[in-house]
Structure 1
Amino acid sequence: MSERDDSLSLPFSLLLDALKAAGEDTRLRLIAVLAEAELTVSDLTDILGQSQPRISRHLKLLAEAGLVERHREASWIFYRSASEGPGGKVAARLLDLLDRTDPILARDRERLDAVRATRAQAAQAYFSTHAREWDELRRLHVPEEAVEQAVREILADRPIRSLLDLGTGTGRMLELFAPDIERGLGLDLSPDMLAVARTHLDHAGIRNCQLRQSDIYAIPAPRDSFDAVIIHQVLHFLDDAGRAIAEAARVLRPGGRLLVVDFAPHDLEFLRENHAHRRLGFARDTMEGWLTASGLVPEGFRTLAPQGRKGEGLTVSLWLARDPRILMAGDISPTDRAATLSGPAGHREIA
């Protein structure tokens, strides 16, 4: 007989309450479909073909039993199957036992696909509306592929279990790291951008990342929550970049890393008028001053200059800093880290 895994055991009363909550056909269907995507009551009404009051009542019972999680995004509330706590354990076990090819669940997934298609159309419409300004910005700096490669290289020296992407935008950073992390969280203040990000993550089949609407100055997570935090092309929109860095540092675990990606100082004033940029880039010492003031240790710096004549376009800068409370296992030497940050030809380390 195999030994029992006590980590999977639950108190009698908790298990009984969870099973009572799940033991109804609509609620079991809700658990199954919410394991596929984060959805609103309106979405679920379309998928299950039931009235909004009825769906809301079932969701309330599931949430009280801890089998589903809920979060507010502007005037909408999103639901998903619980991933943590006692309810998460029960939900995961029920999902393991379910035959996903069952005709009832298969029909629900077909309707879910229709909801996703509607979302994708709305996201594409928003994206198309703003495509001209994004294309204008992309022409000013190095290709995004080069920036993404640098981001991956800089964070490649240690495993990342939990990742926070502040100002997630289209969710690209989460998509980039999703195969290598246990869980990811993307925060953005814009519901429109979150809709775009949700569509991208759904299309990529990513299930280990969540999206939340949140102010970057008030991250909805306790201290010591994440192994790595990325702030990618966000700080130049803010009035108080230093405050945002301090809040990011708060949620880093001991030894965790913060990577900031933004523009070097420039004089393209039209970005203030046309694209709401508050800051025209950041000097290395300014950024490192904020990192140090937040209790972090700056560990590396890299720049990616655009092709063309010197002085034209936008140079992208990348700053890496670490929480100094401990040196985590596998931390590399400063020499090796400098080699990692210096990157391939065309990237230069600033002394």
Structure 2
Amino acid sequence: MDELLSALKAAAEPTRLRLLALCARADLTVTELVKLLGQSQPRLSRHLKLLADAGLLDRLQEGAFAYWRLAQRGPGAPIARQLIEALPSDDPVLIADGNRLDELRRTRSDRAETYFRDVAASWDGIRSLHVDEAEVEQALLKLVPQRKVHDLLDLGTGTGRMLQLLAPRAEQATGVDRSREMLAIARARLDEAGLRHCVVRQADMARLPFDDASFDLIVCHMALHYAEAPPEIVAEAARVLRPGGTLLLIDFAPHDRDVLQREHAHRWLGFEPASLARWCRDAGLHPLPPATLAGGELTVTVLRADRRAELNFSDDARELRVGH
């Protein structure tokens, strides 16, 4: 009763209802909210703090910036969703706010795509060296557990492609990356796809800002070769993986294309599948035999590892051998 009353009291103010409506549609900074609502930053900051203290909004820190979004977890989350559903769709103030938000999102998307175009040539060059990405994604999907995933984590999310691919399988999904530019692209693309159950955060894969056993499924897609100490990334992933959970590793097999180190910041020239499996075992996980995807100059390895050996694996997960 106290939590409900606190949440209702926090929301019972016109500006705070407008903030809830906006943050239900996009992750927004205080600066962006100032532009959208035309109110001072100190005033909006006070409103945001009240809503966060009542559990109606989440605050996501990203370096020097903080993004606000409608609460996804906790006792305030269902109340926040009910309040949003109760807002009148024909209210002129909310409609005007929404129109300004649409313009802001278009500006965000254009800015993100401009950055991506600047680096797209190098990405396309790397893609041309290995098997088509659609084949990699198909192999990955075959290894994803068939049961519904409650909490998904994508390590080194980049443009958020894995979040988009796996969003239908998860109730909540989080992507982490150190690059604010890549997170901007991911955020814009998730917004465009309407995937409000997906969120991105700036974080180091080696020091994840999550409690132990927080996720059911963790994906690390083409990110290990950037890491200084890949075994530490696997161990950190295992730390936040729940019992019965699954870790999927997708990366290059060993190769000699040192141009990727010189020009594309790759720290490692691929990994032996046996090394990936050993790091998983050292972290307390139980790896399945890896799949290898050969096509082009680079071979891609896809490996699934589970928290418990007694899980009932699907036949596809046991038998997948692509490229052999």
Band the TM-score falls in, shorter-chain normalisation: over 0.9
Cα 1:110–1:262 change in 2 (3 A) is same
CA displacement at 1:156 relative to structure 2: 4.8
Distance 1:125 1:76 in 2: 21
Whether 2:307 is the aligned partner of 1:337: answer: no
Aligned to 1:324: 308
Could you say which residue in structure 2 is the equivalent of 1:189? 178
Letter in 2 for 1:142: V
Corresponding position of 1:3: none
SS of the residue 2:75 aligns to: helix
Q: Which amino acid aligns with 1:324?
A: R
Match of 1:120 among 78, 84, 109: 109
Answering whether residue 164 of structure 2 is matched by residue 175 of structure 1, we say yes
What's the CA shift string for 1:144-188, capped at 9, x where partnerless? 111111111111533322211000000000001112211101011
Cross-structure match for 1:298: 287
Q: So what's the TM-score if we normalise by structure 2?
A: 0.96
Q: Given residue 332 of structure 1, which amino acid in structure 2 is its aligned partner?
A: F
User: What is the DSSP-based 3-state SS (H/G/I as helix, E as strand, rest coil) of the residue aligned with 2:85?
Assistant: helix
Distance in 2 between residues matched to 1:144 and 1:101, nearest whole Å: 43
What is the deviation of 1:14? Answer: 2.0
Give the aligned residue type for 2:304: L
Spell out, residue by residue over 1:303-327, the C-alpha distance to the aligned partner (whole angstroms, 9 max, x if none). 11114xxxxx111111111101753
Q: Distance in 1 between matches of 2:129 and 2:174?
A: 29
Closer/same/farther in 2, CA of residues 78 and 336 from structure 1, 3 Å limit = closer
**Pair 112,149 (structure 1): closer, same or farther in 2 beyond 3 Å:** same
Q: Is the 8 A contact 2:174 2:199 kept in 1?
A: yes
Check whether the contact 1:303–1:316 (CA below 8 A) recurs between aligned residues: yes
Residue of structure 2 equivalent to 1:161: 150
Contact kept in structure 2, 1:157 and 1:332, CA below 8 Å: no
Asked if 1 retains the 8 angstrom alpha-carbon contact of 2:219 and 2:247, the reply is: yes
Matches within 5 A, 1:233-272: 233-272=222-261
Whether the 8 Å contact between 1:300 and 1:321 is mirrored in structure 2 is no
Cα-to-partner distance string for 1:88-121 (whole Å, 9 max, x where unaligned):
1321221121123322211111111111011111
Local SS of the residue matching 2:44: helix
Structure 1, gaps ≥5 residues long:
1-10, 308-312
Alpha-carbon shift at residue 49 of structure 1 (Å): 1.9
Is 2:62 aligned against 1:73?
Answer: yes
Q: Which moved more, 1:141-150 or 1:262-271?
A: 141-150
Matched, 1:46 2:35: yes
Distance 1:165 1:100 in 2: 34
- Comparing 45-54 and 200-209, the one that deviates more: 45-54
| Residue 17 (structure 2) aligned to one of 14, 23, 28 | 28
Helix, strand or coil at the partner of 1:268: coil
Secondary structure, counterpart of 1:153 in structure 2: helix
Q: 1:215, CA displacement in angstroms?
A: 0.8
Write the distance in 2 (CA, Å) between the matches of 1:36 and 1:165: 22
Of 47-56 and 197-206, more deviation after overlay is shown by 47-56
C-alpha distance 127-81 of structure 1, shift in aligned 2 (>3 A): same
Secondary structure of 1:164's counterpart equals strand
Aligned residue in 2 for 1:214: 203
In structure 1, the residue matched to 2:4 is 15
One-letter code of the match for 1:207? R
SS in structure 2 of the partner of residue 321 of structure 1: strand
Which range is displaced more, 40-49 or 148-157? 148-157
The 2-side partners of 1:324 and 1:235 are apart by 23
Q: Deviations over 1:17-55 (max 9, x none)?
A: 211211100001101110111100111112112222221
> Cα 1:60–1:336, aligned 2, differ >3 Å: closer, same or farther?
closer
Question: Closer, same or farther in 2 for the Cα pair 1:332/1:285, shift >3 Å?
Answer: closer
SS state of the match for residue 220, structure 1?
coil
Matches within 5 A, 1:59-70: 59-70=48-59
CA distance in 2, matches of 1:325, 1:51: 56
Q: Secondary structure at the match of 2:149?
A: coil
Q: For 1:208-262, what per-residue CA distance to the aligned partner results, in whole angstroms no more than 9, with x for missing partners?
A: 1111111101112111111110000001011100000000011111111100000
Identity between Structure 1 and Structure 2 (%): 48
Q: Given the two structures, how large is their TM-score scaled by the length of structure 1?
A: 0.89
